[in-house]
């Protein structure tokens, strides 16, 4: 069952499944932000991850910036295999530079992640558009951005412009890798996306059946940024808690 928590109404401290870790154990790794229009129906989904270095001792913790007003869907440790084996953890809401952050404890894995929706998309016929305003409320050496678009998207506009040709997974979804950014705490970056949805697929004459796209249970595993790809660094996995078959990229 999906647990949701409206960030604008939660208390300053959330009682999690593990104790709050000491401040000296908080790590400052590179971060990845994946913007996913229609990751939830009609909404903008954002997936934020950070991986601590191999030599860092466990337990540890990571502070991930929160977008104001976002609705948290999942947070915890990503172990890198079956998403159902990942460890769901509530975090601690902490004050940060210009905003707030979610502190996630790590005991078994090295990747902290949360998934949240940040509001409704603008939809006009088959045209979809939205903006994510990312406030870098905690210090990090680099923030890596990407945009994931649904199968069949056309007339696509992504700003900032992608640095690589888009990748496509087996479900037909596209992943655009945006420039890596070194962002000072308190500074903001906007990611703007617009596209047209795929035209409706009409049934062949006499077939009586139409085509259909896969559901939201797709898991997309990506390495973000040219530097990250070369180093084999950070991977994102989206947790779609569903009994539906998951399509692999």
**Cα gap 171→148, rounded to integer Å:** 12
SS3 227: helix
What residues form DSSP beta bridges with 222? Answer: 236
Contact (Cβ atoms closer than 8 angstroms) between residue 182 and residue 142: yes
**Beta strand 127-135 pairing with 122-124:** antiparallel
Q: Report pLDDT for 202.
A: 38
DSSP code, position 25: G
Tell me: the pLDDT tens digits for 86-132?
999 989 999 999 999 999 999 999 999 999 999 899 999 999 999 99
Return the sign of the alpha-carbon dihedral for residues 188, 151, 119, 216: negative
**Cα gap 169→79, rounded to integer Å:** 21
pTM over 0.85: no
Q: Report pLDDT for 200.
A: 60
**Is the pLDDT confidence value at 16 over 50?**
no
For the chain, the distance separating the N- and C-terminal CA atoms, rounded to the nearest angstrom, is 25
- Residue 158, token pair as written in the block: 């992504």
User: How many CB atoms are located within 10 Å of the residue 155 CB?
Assistant: 10
- Residue 27, token pair as written in the block: 């790590």
- Residue 124, token pair as written in the block: 């006009």
Tell me: the pLDDT tens digits for 203-245?
443 333 333 333 222 333 333 333 333 223 233 445 543 222 2
Q: Report which of 92, 38, 36, 37 is spatially closest to residue 66, judged by C-alpha positions.
A: 92
Contact (Cβ atoms closer than 8 angstroms) between residue 153 and residue 195: yes
The residue that leads in pLDDT, 4 or 119, is 119
Contact (Cβ atoms closer than 8 angstroms) between residue 53 and residue 87: no
Tell me: the pLDDT tens digits for 17-36?
334 444 337 888 999 999 99
Question: Where does the pLDDT of residue 81 fall: very low under 50, low under 70, confident under 90, or very high at 90 and above?
Answer: confident
Q: Report which of 234, 135, 142 is spatially closest to residue 185, judged by C-alpha positions.
A: 135
Tell me: the pLDDT tens digits for 130-157?
999 999 999 999 999 999 999 999 999 9
Contact (Cβ atoms closer than 8 angstroms) between residue 124 and residue 155: no
Contact (Cβ atoms closer than 8 angstroms) between residue 126 and residue 82: no
CA gyration radius for the chain? Answer: 18
Q: Report pLDDT for 191.
A: 97
Contact (Cβ atoms closer than 8 angstroms) between residue 118 and residue 67: yes
Q: What is the mean pLDDT of residues 7-16?
A: 31
The residue that leads in pLDDT, 56 or 94, is 94
What residues form DSSP beta bridges with 71? Answer: 6, 117
């Amino acid at each position: 069952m999906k647990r949701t928590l409206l960030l604008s109404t939660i208390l300053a401290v959330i009682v999690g499944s593990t104790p709050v870790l000491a401040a000296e154990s908080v790590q400052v790794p590179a971060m990845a932000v994946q913007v996913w229009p229609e990751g939830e129906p009609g909404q903008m989904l954002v997936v934020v991850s950070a991986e601590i270095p191999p030599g860092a001792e466990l337990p540890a913790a990571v502070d991930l910036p929160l977008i104001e007003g976002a609705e948290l869907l999942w947070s915890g440790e990503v172990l890198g295999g079956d998403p159902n084996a990942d460890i769901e953890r509530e975090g601690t809401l902490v004050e940060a530079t210009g905003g707030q952050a979610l502190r996630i404890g790590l005991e078994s894995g090295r990747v902290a992640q949360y998934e949240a929706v940040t509001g409704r998309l603008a939809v006009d016929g088959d045209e979809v558009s939205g903006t994510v305003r990312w406030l870098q409320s905690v210090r990090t050496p680099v923030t890596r951005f990407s945009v994931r678009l649904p199968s069949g998207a056309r007339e696509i506009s992504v700003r900032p412009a992608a640095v690589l040709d888009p990748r496509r997974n087996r479900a037909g979804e596209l992943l655009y890798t945006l420039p890596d950014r070194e962002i000072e705490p308190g500074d903001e970056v906007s990611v703007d996306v617009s596209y047209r949805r795929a035209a409706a697929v009409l049934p062949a004459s006499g077939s009586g059946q139409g085509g259909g796209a896969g559901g939201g249970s797709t898991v997309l595993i990506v390495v973000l940024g040219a530097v990250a790809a070369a180093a084999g660094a950070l991977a994102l996995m989206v947790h779609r808690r569903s009994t539906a078959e998951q399509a692999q990229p």
